[in-house]
Structure 1
Amino acid sequence: MESTESSYVSSPEEMARKRTPPPPKSLPTDPAEKPTYIRFLVSNPLAGAVIGKGGSTITDFQSQSQAKIQLSRGHEFFPGTTDRIIMISGTIDETLKAVELILEKLLSEIHAEDGYDAGPSTKVRLIVPNSSCGGIIGKGGAIIKSFIEESQANIKISPLDHNYYGLNDRLVTLTGHLDEQLRAIDMILSKLMEDTHYKQTMSVPFTYAGILFSGFHGMPYGHVPPVAPMAQNAVTYGTNVVGRRIQSNKEDQSNSKTIGVADEHIGLVVGRGGRNIMEISQVSGAKIKVSDRGDFMSGTTDRKVTISGSQRSIRAAESMIMQKVAYASERLMD
Structure 2
Amino acid sequence: MLSMPLSGGPGPAEESLWSLRPACREMESKVSEGGLNVTLTIRLLMHGKEVGSIIGKKGETVKKMREESGARINISEGNCPERIVTITGPTDAIFKAFAMIAYKFEEDITNSMSNSTATSKPPVTLRLVVPASQCGSLIGKGGSKIKEIRESTGAQVQVAGDMLPNSTERAVTISGTPDAIIQCVKQICVVMLESPPKGATIPYRPKPASTPVIFAGGQAYTIQGQYAIPHPDQLTKLHQLAMQQTPFTPLGQTTPAFPGLDASPPASTHELTIPNDLIGCIIGRQGTKINEIRQMSGAQIKIANATEGSSERQITITGTPANISLAQYLINARLTSEVTGMGAL
TMscore range, shorter length? 0.5 to 0.7
Counterpart residue identity of residue 264, structure 1: G
Q: Which runs of 5+ in 2 are unaligned?
A: 1-33, 243-280, 303-328
Q: Which residue of 2 aligns with 1:179?
A: 179
Secondary structure of the 1:197 match is coil
- Normalising by structure 2, we get a TM-score of 0.53
Q: Mapping of 1:83-94 within 5 angstroms?
A: 84-94=83-93
Match for residue 127 of structure 2 among 125, 128, 134: 125
Q: Which residue of 1 aligns with 2:148?
A: 146
CA contact (8 A) 2:78 2:341 kept: no
Match status 1:72 vs 2:76: yes
Q: 1:153 and 1:237 mapped to 2: Cα distance?
A: 40
Q: Structure 1 residue 264: deviation in Å?
A: 3.4
Match status 1:156 vs 2:176: no
Q: 1:72 and 1:323 mapped to 2: Cα distance?
A: 20
Change (3 A) 1:77 1:194: farther
CA contact (8 A) 1:129 1:168 kept: yes
Change (3 A) 1:136 1:296: closer
Secondary structure of the 2:41 match is strand
Change (3 A) 1:118 1:69: farther
Q: 1:154 and 1:330 mapped to 2: Cα distance?
A: 28
Per-residue CA deviation, residues 155-207 of structure 1 (Å, 9 max, x unaligned), is 11121157x3x132222122221111111111011211223227975xx7x34
- Normalising by structure 1, we get a TM-score of 0.55
Counterpart residue identity of residue 95, structure 1: I
Q: 1:243 and 1:146 mapped to 2: Cα distance?
A: 47
Q: Which residue of 2 aligns with 1:23?
A: none
Aligned residues: 232
Q: Which residue of 1 aligns with 2:97?
A: 98
CA contact (8 A) 2:160 2:171 kept: yes
CA RMSD of aligned residues (A): 4.7
Match for residue 237 of structure 2 among 254, 257, 261: 257
Secondary structure of the 1:173 match is strand
Change (3 A) 1:135 1:117: same
Q: Which residue of 2 aligns with 1:281?
A: none
Q: Structure 1 residue 72: deviation in Å?
A: 2.7
Q: Which residue of 2 aligns with 1:7?
A: none
Per-residue CA deviation, residues 199-224 of structure 1 (Å, 9 max, x unaligned), is 975xx7x343647xxxxxxxxxxxxx
Change (3 A) 1:161 1:152: same
Q: 1:243 and 1:299 mapped to 2: Cα distance?
A: 25
Q: Structure 1 residue 141: deviation in Å?
A: 1.0
Secondary structure of the 1:88 match is strand
Match for residue 336 of structure 2 among 318, 322, 326: 326
Q: 1:39 and 1:320 mapped to 2: Cα distance?
A: 32
Identity, % of aligned positions = 23
Counterpart residue identity of residue 45, structure 1: K
CA contact (8 A) 2:78 2:340 kept: no
Counterpart residue identity of residue 208, structure 1: R
Task: Report the structure number with the largest CA radius of gyration.
Answer: 1
Secondary structure of the 1:73 match is coil
CA contact (8 A) 1:62 1:68 kept: yes
Q: Structure 1 residue 65: deviation in Å?
A: 0.8
Change (3 A) 1:258 1:45: same
